[in-house]
Structure 1
Amino acid sequence: MDSFSTDTFAQLENELESHCSSTPLAVLNFLLKSKSQAEMEKKFSKPMMWIGIYIAIASLFCILPMVADLLHGFKNKKLWFPCKYFTLNAASLTVIAIAIKLPMDLNNSMPGDVDQAAKLGSMSFMCTMMANLLPSLAIMDSKELLTNIIALAVLVITLVVNVCIQIETGVVHNCEDGYYSTQPYNHCLIAYIYVTMLLMLMMMHICTSLMILKSKQILESKYRSGHETAVKDLELQQPGRVTVEKLKHYVSNHWIMAETGNPQFMTVCYATTSASGVICVLSIAVHVIVMRFTRPTMKFYGSDYKWSVIAILITQFTGVILGTVAPISRCFASLSFKVSIKWIWNHMRVFKVESYCTQKLSDWKQSSIPLKFSSRRCKIVIQDLKVLILSFCIGIQKSVVAACKIIALIPIFFVIGLFCCFYCCKWLKIMFGATYNVTAENPAQLQHSKDLSDYVLQLQNDMELAQRTLKSISISVNHVIQKAKKQKPNNLLKLIEESSSFEGVGKYDVHQVPPLPEEKYVDCWSLPVVTLTAIAISLPNIQNNMVNRLLRSVSEGLTYVKHVEETLNASEEFVSGQKAARALWLEVDVYHKWLGNKLQNPAHQVNTTKEIVQWFSDTAKNMITEVEIKNKKGSDDSSVYMSVSANSMYRITQTLLVSYDANIDQVSQEELFVKLSSMISHILAACLTNLPQVIAMKCHTSVIEKREESVHTAARLLGETMQIINCLKDRTLPSLNPDELPFIDKWHDCFLHPSP
C-alpha cells in the first residue's frame, strides 16, 4: 500500500514506544524493519492497478450484451427488449462477480471521493444488470432456473453482507468519520439505499421465478388447444396440395401464439417487471447525483487501484445509463400491451394477487413428501412444518407482488396523464373545427383481426391484448415473409421450371447394386443429387457458365432438402447417407473434387462420355473394395463416408451405362449434361413437394422456449419458397400414400414399378 492504515500506525506507535527505552541500535533495527515492511506492502499493491483495468474490461463485457439486446429489440421492433445476449447463466454470473469487485473488497482502503463513488457506482451497476436480467429467467427450464436463482442469490447476499461490513469498518465512510471529503452527500446512506434496492430486486427475481413456473403451464395448455384448432383449419389430409394462402394463415396463427405465449413477453406483463424498472430509474437517479458532485474531484483518488478506478467509474456509469433503457421500456410496454380502463383498474387493485402468482407454492403445499420414516409422529411433524413454511412463503409472495403493484402505480399514473393530454388535445381540435379523416376498416381486415385474436395466449381470461399490439405482431410476421420472399432461390426456380414431371426420380438408379453387407443404409434425397452433380460438372466440354449455374442451383436446392431431411427423415437409418452427402457436397462445391479426385477431366486419357462415366464407375468399385479390406481391421467414420459415397456413385454410373446400352459412345457430353441436370431437377422437385408439411411442422415445437425461433424459421422458409410451392402444386404426384411422400425410396419404387 502507498500509505499505512490507521491500525498499522497504531501498531507502529506502540512498538516504537516499547523500543524507546531500548538501545539506539534496537531503535535503528526497528526503523529499518518498518521501512522494509512498507516497501514490501508497496510491492504487493502494484498489481492493484491492473486488477482495476480487469474490472473495467469485465464491466465492458457486461455492457456489450446489454447494448446488443437493445439493438436487437430496435431492429425487430420489440420495444420490450427480450434478453437474447445478456442472460443469467454461469458465464454471465462470473463476469458480473468480477465487475462488482470494488464493493466486495472488504479491507482495501479507498479514501478518495472517486474511490467511494466507484464503489457506490458498482452497486448501481449491479441494480441495473439485475433489472435487465429479469426476463431471461423465463427462457430457462425448472432445473436451470433453480440453479441460477440460487447462484444469483448467493452473489447478491454476499455483496450486501460485504457492503454492510465495510460500512461498520469504515471502508465505506462519511466525512464525519475522520476522512476528508468534499461531497455534500452521505456515502453510508447511499450504500444503505443500494443495499435495499438489491434486496428488493432479489426478492422480485425469486417471486418472478415462482410465477414463471405456473405461467408456463397455463400458456402451454392454451397453446395445445390453439394448435389443434390451427391444424384442423389447415386440412393437411393432402400433403403437396396445400396452398400458399393456407400456409400463410397457419404460420400467422402460430406466430401469434408464439409471440403472445413467449415466456419473456409474459414476464413483461408481471408487476415485478414494472417495479424493477422503477427501481432501476431510482438507482440511476442516485448515481447521477453522486457523479454530479464527484466530477470536480475526478483527479483525486487515493486507493491502490490508482487511475484505473476512474476507468471503472466511467465504464460502469455508461453501463448504468445504457442499461436503464430496457427496464424502463419494459415498464411502459406492459401497459401498452394491455392498456384499457378495465385493465388499469384491475392493476390498481394492488391487494388483488392473481392466482398464478402463488399457485406453484400452493401446489407444493398440498403435495406430499415421500418419507422413509416408519414413525407416524415424525411424518406428521415434517408435513406440518412443510405446510407452515410454505404458508409463510405464500404470504411473503403475496406481499412482494402487492408491493410491486404499488411501485408500478408510478408509470400507470404517468400513462394516464399522457392519455388525458391526448384526449384533451383531440377534444380541443374538435371544438375549434379541426377535421378528422376517419377511414372505415375493411370488413375482411376486421374478420382477420378477430381470427387472429382467437390465437392470443393470455394468463387470465379477463385479460385482453390491445388491438395495436395484435396488429403490430401480425405486421411483423408479414414483414418476415415479405423480406424472405425477396431472397427467393432464383437459380433453383429456373432449374425446377425447366421440367414438368418427377420421372427422373425413377431413372437415376434402375440397375440395382446392393450396398456393402457391413454398411447397409437407406437412400436419402441429397446423396443422389450430389453424386449426379459431381458427374455433370466433370464433363470437360461443358461451358463454365452452365456448370456454375448448376452448382448454384444445387447449392440452393440442398438448403431446402436439408430442411426436409431433418424434419421428415430424421430417423437413424437415414443418418449415414445424409452425413455422407453433406461432406461430399463440401468437397464437390468448394474443391471440385470427388473423394479426393479432381472432377474436371479426372484422368488425362479420359475424354469421351463413356470413358468419363466408366472412370467414375471403376474408381467407385475400387474404393468399395478398399473399404471392404479396411473394414476387416475395423471401420471408422471416414470408411463409412467413403463406402456410402462410392456405393451411390457406382449404382448411378452403372445405371447410366445400362440405360444407354451400347449407344453411350454416340452420346455427347452436352446431351449427358442435360440428362443429368434433368434428373437433378426431378429429384429436387419431388423432395420439395414436402415443403408445406415441413413448414407446418416447423411452426410447432413442444419446447416453449424455442417456439418463437421455430415459427420464425417457418415464416422465413415460407417466404423463400412460395414460388416453388406454387410451381409444384399442379404437378401430378405418384400414387403414394401421404405418409410415403417424404421418402425417396418410395418414389423410386413407385416409378420403377408403377401400379396398374
Structure 2
Amino acid sequence: MHIGCDVNGNLNQGKFSAPMPWIGIYVAAASLACLVTMAADVIHGFRHWKLWFPCKFFSINATSLTLIAVAIKLSVDLNTAMPSRQDQLAKLSSSVLVCTVMGNSMPSLGAMENEEIMMNVIAFGILVITLIVNICIQLATGAIFVFWKEHAFIMFIMLILLMMLSFSALTVPISKRYLEHKYNKSGVSDYKWSTTLVLVTQTLAVGVGTIAPASRWFIAINFRCAKRGNTSYRGEFKVEKYWTQGLVELKNCPLALRIKSRHCRKLAHDTKNKLLDLCIGMQTGNVIVSKAIRLISIFFVSKILICCDFCQEWKKKFKCNTVCNDSGLESSQSSSSLNHLSCYVLHLEGEDALVEHMTKSNCDATDHWFQRGRRREPKHLIKLLEKSTFSQGFKGVAAFDNDQVPSLDGEEPPNCWALPVATLASIALALPNISSNSMKGLMQGVHEGIMYINFIENHVESTDLINIRRAATHVWLGVDLYHTWLDVDLHKLSLQGKGSKEILEELAETAKIKYEESKKKQTGINVCIRDTPSKWPVKEIAANSMYRICQTILLNYGGSINETGEKLFEVLTIMISDILGACLTNLQQVISTKCLSSTIEEREESVRIAVHILGKTERILNILDQKIPPSLEPHQIPWIDEWRLSYKRESSLAFLSSSSSESDRASPFSNDFYLSID
C-alpha cells in the first residue's frame, strides 16, 4: 500500500493535499515579511520627515525577489483546486501585491550601482512575465473563473509599471552623473483556512505599501503647485536630455561583437540602432505620459491647495497687527536668506521652478536636525571645558609630558589626543579621598570628550597613529567599563590608604613592569629587531604613556603633592580639559570636511550627521572660538605633538628672555601655566 497512490497509479488526494495549508502559511509569512519591511519604510519616512519615503528596508534585491516569488504562489498555482470566491480573490491579491511592490520599491534603484540595477530589473521582469503567463494559462484553463476582468486590468497595470520601472532604471545613471556633475464558489479549497490568512496579510501589505507611493505622488504634485493658481504650463511636456541620453550613448557605441563580414556588421549595427530608436521613442512616450498624468493631477489637487492657502490667509486676519508685522518682517528676512541659498541647490534640467521649494524643504530639515542636536548637547563635556586654561592657550597640552623624564626604550612613540586623556583619567580614578560627584563628573565629561576626539581623529588620516589610537581605545575601555588600567584595579588602589605620591610611584612602577613583560614576550617570539615606536604593541604604548605621565607629575610637583589628592585631582582635571579643548578646535574643520567628502549616495546622511553634531557642539565652538595659538599653522592644528612643539619653542624663548629668579618660579613648560599644590 503506497501512501501517495495505489498499485493502479490512482492519486490519494487526501494525502496529496494535506500539506497545502502549511504552504499557505508559508505564503502568508512571505507576504507578512513584505508588509513589515514596507511598513518599516513608511515609519522611517515619517520619523525622519522624509515624505518621499526612501526604500531603506524594502528594496529590489535578491532577498525581496525571493519573498515576492513565494508570496505569489497562489497566483502561479496552475492545478490546485481553488473553487471559492475567497480563493479566487486571494489569487487576485497576489497580483495586486506585485503592482504595489513595484510602485513602492522604485526609489531603491537610485541607491544601486549600474550593474546591480540591470540585474535586479531583469530579475524582476522575469518574475512579472512569469506571473502574467501563469495567470493567462489559468484564465484559459478555467482555473481562474471569477474576477477575470480584474485580473486583466491588474496585468495591464503590471506591464505598465514594469515598463516604467525598466525605463526609469535607464535614467538613474545619467541622473546621478548630472547631479554629481553639479555637486471562490460552493466548495472547500485545498489551502483551507490559510487562504484567508494570505488574503488578509496581502491586503494589509497592499494598503501599507500604497502609503509611500501615494505620499510621493502628493509631494511631487505639491512641488509643482508651489505657486498656487499658476496656469502657465509652458515647457511642461519638454523631454529633458537626461531621460534619453543613456540610450543615445548606447546608440553611438560600436558593437562589441566582431563579425568578419562587413555587410553582416552593417546589418547588425543598423538593427541595433533601430531597436534603440524604438526604445528612445518609448522612453520619450513614457516621459510624456507621466508628465500628462502629473499635469492632470496638478489640475485637480491645486484647487484643494488653493483652498487651504485661502483658509490660512483667512486665519491670519484674526491675529494682532503687531504680530502680523513681526511675522511679515521675519518672513521677508527668511525669504531673503532662502533666495541667497538657492544657488547651492542641485537640480536637473526642467526643475528650475522647484528650486525655491527645495531650498525651503532642505532648510527645514537642516534646522530640524540642528535643533535636535542642540537638545542633546554634551553638558558634562561643556562643564569640563569651562575649567580649561584656554585663555592662556591650553598650556596643559604641554604639561602632561616632560622631556626631562628618562625614556623606557630610547625612542618615544608619537602622541594622539585620546591616549593622554585616557591615561590622565586613569590616574585621577586612582587618587584617594576624591568625592564621588567630582569623580563622576570627570568621567562623564571624558566619556563625552573621547567620542568627539574619535570623531576628529577618524577624519585625520595618519598610518603612524593607528596603534597609538588602538592603545587609547584599549585603556579607556578598561577605565570606563571596569575602572581598571591594564588589569590594575584603580578603584581598589585608591582605597589602600596610600598617599597620592605613593600611588603615582606605584602606577609608574607597574607601567614599567608591564612594558618589560610585553617586550620580553616579543623577544620570546623571535622578534630580533624592534619596530618603530609607532608600531609597538598596544600594551607597550599604554604602559609607556602611563610611566611618562606619572614621572612628569612626580618631577614637577613631587615635593608638594598632598596626601588627600584633591589638588592633584584639580591639576589632572585642568590638563584633561586643556587637551580636550585643544583637540576640539578641529571640530569646525572636520564638520565642513564631512559635508563635502562623500559620494552622492551617502551625501544626505553625511550632511545630516554633520548638522546634528554642529547643533550638539554649538556651545563648545563658541567657547573655543579664536583660541588657537597664533604660532600654529593650519596644517599643524590636528596634531597634538605639533601643539607641544609650539609650546616648547615658546617656553624656550620665555626662558631666554626672563631673569634667573623668574625662571626659578616658572613652570618648566611655560611662563604662563603654573599650578601649585599645598
Common topology (TM > 0.5):
yes
In the other structure, the counterpart of 1:412 is 298
Q: Which amino acid counterpart does residue 86 of structure 1 have in structure 2? A: F
Structure 2, unmatched stretches of 5+, are 654-678
Task: Indicate how the Cα distance of structure 1 residues 150 and 719 shifts in structure 2: closer, same or farther if over 3 A, else same.
Answer: same
1-side partners of 2:564 and 2:203: how far apart? 74
Quote how far apart the aligned CAs of 1:378 are: 5.9
* Paired position in structure 1 for 2:242: 356
Which stretch of the first structure deviates more once superposed, 674-683 or 458-467?
A: 458-467
Aligned to 1:102: 74
Aligned residue among 108, 112, 127 for 1:155: 127
| Kept after mapping to 2: 8 A contact 1:79/1:330 | yes
The answer to whether the aligner puts 1:115 opposite 2:1 as a matched pair is no
Please say which of residues 540-549 and 380-389 is displaced more in the overlay. Answer: 380-389
**Cα deviations by residue, 1:86-143 (Å, 9 ceiling, x for unpaired):** 2222222222222222213233222222111111101111111111101121122223
**1:628 pairs with 2:538:** no
Q: 1:171 aligns with which of 134, 143, 164?
A: 143
Q: Which residue of 1 aligns with 2:334?
A: 445
| 1:178-218 deviation line (CA, Å, top 9, x unaligned) | xxxxxxxx432222222221121111111111112111111
Query: Which of 493, 496, 508 is residue 602 of structure 1 equivalent to?
Result: 493
Give the alignment's TM-score, normalised by structure 1. 0.77
- Post-superposition Cα deviations, 1:383-442, rounded to whole Å, max 9, x if no partner, equal 434333322221221122223334444422322443576689899x89xx9999775444
CA distance in 2: counterparts of 1:56 and 1:495, whole angstroms: 56
In the other structure, the counterpart of 1:677 is 573
1:345 to 233, 256, 266: 233
Give the distance between the partners of 2:345 and 2:592, measured in 1 at CA: 19
Task: Evaluate the alpha carbon distance shift between residue 513 and residue 100 of structure 1 in structure 2; reply closer, same or farther with a 3 A threshold.
Answer: farther
1:33 aligns with 2:9: no
Q: Kindly state the Cα deviation for residue 594 of structure 1 after the two structures are TM-superposed.
A: 1.3
Match of 1:155, as an amino acid? L
Map 1:166-315 → 2, pairs under 5 A? 166-172=138-144, 174=145, 186-223=146-183, 302-315=188-201
Task: Indicate the residue corresponding to 1:726 in structure 2.
Answer: 622
Question: Separation in 2 of the partners of 1:102 and 1:458?
Answer: 44
Partner of 2:287 in structure 1? 401
Q: Is the 8 A contact 1:336 1:466 kept in 2?
A: no
Tell me: CA distance 1:703–1:329, structure 2 relative to 1, closer, same or farther (3 Å).
same
2:548 matched residue in structure 1: 651
How far did residue 324 of structure 1 move? Answer: 1.2
Q: How does 1:347-746 map to 2 (within 5 A)?
A: 349=237, 352-369=238-255, 380-418=266-304, 440-442=328-330, 443-460=332-349, 463-465=352-354, 467=356, 470-501=359-390, 502-511=394-403, 522-567=414-459, 569-602=460-493, 607-632=498-523, 633=525, 640-661=537-558, 663=559, 666=562, 668-733=564-629, 735-746=631-642
| Alpha-carbon displacement from aligned partner over 1:314-372 (angstroms, at most 9, x marks no partner) | 111111122212211211211211324779724753xx322111011112222345566
615-624 vs 675-684, which moves further: 615-624
Bigger mean CA offset, 722-731 vs 62-71: 62-71
**2:57 is the counterpart of 1:85:** yes
Q: 1:425 and 1:592, CA in 2 relative to 1: closer, same or farther beyond 3 A?
A: closer
| Alignment partners' CA distance in 1, 2:582 and 2:5 | 91
- Residue correspondences, number: 632
Is 1:496–1:685's contact at 8 Å kept on the other side of the alignment?
yes
Residue 425 and residue 150 in structure 1: after superposition, are their counterparts in 2 closer, same or farther (change >3 A)? same
**CA 1:447/1:407 → structure 2, altered by over 3 Å: closer, same or farther?**
closer
Equivalent residue, structure 2, for 1:242: none
SS at match of 1:312: helix
Q: CA 1:106/1:587 → structure 2, altered by over 3 Å: closer, same or farther?
A: farther
Deviations 1:55-107 (A, max 9, x none): 21221221122222222322333332222222222222222222222213233
Q: Is the 8 A contact 1:103 1:162 kept in 2?
A: yes
Go from structure 1 to structure 2 and tell me whether the alpha carbon gap of 1:650 and 1:404 turns closer, same or farther (over 3 Å shift). same
State the identity %: 40
**CA–CA distance in 1 between the matches of 2:34 and 2:611?**
32
Report the 3-state secondary structure (helix = DSSP H, G, I; strand = E; otherwise coil) of the residue aligned with 2:492: coil
Confirm or deny: 8 A CA contact 1:560 1:688 kept in the other structure: yes
Paired with 2:140 and 2:232, the residues of 1 have a C-alpha distance of: 44
Report if aligned partners of 1:103, 1:119 keep a CA contact under 8 Å in 2: yes
Unpaired stretches in structure 1, ≥5 consecutive residues: 1-27, 175-185, 224-293
Question: Per-residue deviation at 1:51?
Answer: 2.1
User: Which AA in structure 1 matches 2:335?
Assistant: L
CA distance in 2, matches of 1:139, 1:344: 34
Deviation at 1:725, TM superposition (A): 0.7
* Alpha carbons 1:69, 1:86 under 8 Å: kept: yes
Contact 1:539 1:601 in 2 (8 A): no
Q: Which amino acid aligns with 1:523?
A: N
Q: CA, structure 1 residues 55+572, in 2 after alignment: closer, same or farther (shift >3 Å)?
A: farther
CA distance in 1, matches of 2:568, 2:261: 86
Deviates further, 463-472 or 390-399: 463-472
**1:160-195: CA deviation from partner (whole Å, max 9, x where unpaired):** 2222222233322x2xxxxxxxxxxx4322222222
Match for residue 672 of structure 2?
Answer: none
Give the TM-score normalised by structure 2: 0.85
- Per-residue CA deviations over 1:193-248 (Å, capped at 9, x if unaligned) read 2222112111111111111211111112222xxxxxxxxxxxxxxxxxxxxxxxxx
Q: CA RMSD in A?
A: 3.3
Evaluate the alpha carbon distance shift between residue 514 and residue 347 of structure 1 in structure 2; reply closer, same or farther with a 3 A threshold.
farther
Are the counterparts in 2 of residues 504 and 683 from structure 1 also a CA contact under 8 Å?
yes
User: More displaced, 734-743 or 388-397?
Assistant: 388-397
Could you tell me whether the CA contact under 8 Å between 2:432 and 2:499 is conserved in 1? no
